[in-house]
Amino acid sequence: MNVDCRLLKKKKLEELKELIKDIDTPPVLAIIQVGNVDASNIYIRNKRKAAEMIGIQTQLYHFEENVTEEDLKRQIKRLNEDEQVNGIFIQLPIPRHLNEKLLIDEIDPIKDVDGLTTYNLGNLISGQEGLTPCTPNAVIDILDELHCDMTGQNVVVIGRSRLVGLPLFHLLLQRHATIDVCHSKTKDLKAHTIRADILVTAAGTQKNLITEDMVKKGSIIIDVSIIRDENNKLCGDVDYHNVVKKVSYITPVPGGVGQLTVLELMKNTMKAYQLQKKVKKHSYNLKMKDTNKM
């Protein structure tokens, strides 16, 4: 059965609209873009549109492709120090002459709405409160919507990137799943996937990487990847038309996980806003206590 991610997106959008009604001033999301990649332009347009629908304000900082790391660091520092800005993210990919990991780690963790700083990933691994990556959050939301109890389930994750595979592993572990992580060096992929009660694939390397004979009957398939086939049409890792007949649920591509990832960014922006207000309140209370001691 096809998972209707569009319907789930609509539901989550309404939830966020309700949540923001309790906030006095709108959260502000700062977007850093480098270069003029068409795909990035589309993604940013979609994110700004979603933010506007919810009531989140956005600020776009667009740099030429030849921008230096130092210039970007200075901009990030300004945004870190701006108390009006609640969330910061860098639209990926960025040009190769820039150190992606280094620049992401320049973002204040409490404003890191992509959840990709070393600090926030460390919080995730250690089970501490923090901001977690958007795509893995979307995967968990889909499984929750399907009322899927992950306790003891055999889950296979294909891909080990810090964007999806690595954080998803830890989110699933928190749900007490039994997890295999497969990657480009895995020798017999089918031996793993055929056992999976839940298969999450984020390889993004080739069309029909996952075929009907590789999946367990009645399983749940979450296809995170978005690639283009030989006819320039969007597709995922899974041979959707043949696999859909064998499994309980499968997400389509396009119109699947990507529908929810943008909303997870908005949810993280609101969470960042709330965390910052909490820190401010805590700091104020500490100052009051110190004053009383004097």
Write down the domain spans for the chain.
Answer: 17-108, 134-257
Taking the C-alpha atoms of residue 89 and residue 64, their distance in angstroms, rounded to an integer, is 17
Mean pLDDT of 125-144: 96
Catalytic residues: 47, 91, 114
Burial 202-213 (b: 16+ CB within 10 A, else e): bbbeeebbbebe
SS3 of residue 158 by DSSP: strand
Does the pLDDT value for residue 279 go beyond 80? no
pLDDT at 278: 83
Pairing of strands 227-228, 234-235: antiparallel
What's the pLDDT tens digit per position in 73-98? 999 999 999 999 999 999 999 999 99
What's the pLDDT tens digit per position in 207-237? 999 999 999 999 999 999 999 989 999 999 9
Residues 6+ apart with CB under 8 A from 182: 156, 157, 158, 159, 189, 192, 193
Does the pLDDT value for residue 291 go beyond 80? no
Q: Does domain 134-257 fall into CATH 3.40.50.1370?
A: no
Q: How confident is the model at residue 44 (pLDDT cuts 50, 70, 90)?
A: very high
Q: Which CATH number fits domain 17-108: 1.20.120.1200, 1.10.150.130, 3.40.50.10860, 3.90.1300.10?
A: 3.40.50.10860
13, burial (CB in 10 Å: exposed 0-12, middle 13-18, buried 19+): middle
Query: 17-108 with 134-257: one CATH topology?
Result: yes
Within a 10 A sphere around the Cβ of 294, how many other Cβ atoms?
Answer: 4
> Which amino acids are annotated as binding site for NADP(+), given as ranges?
159-161, 226
pLDDT at 64: 97
For the whole prediction, is pTM greater than 0.95?
no
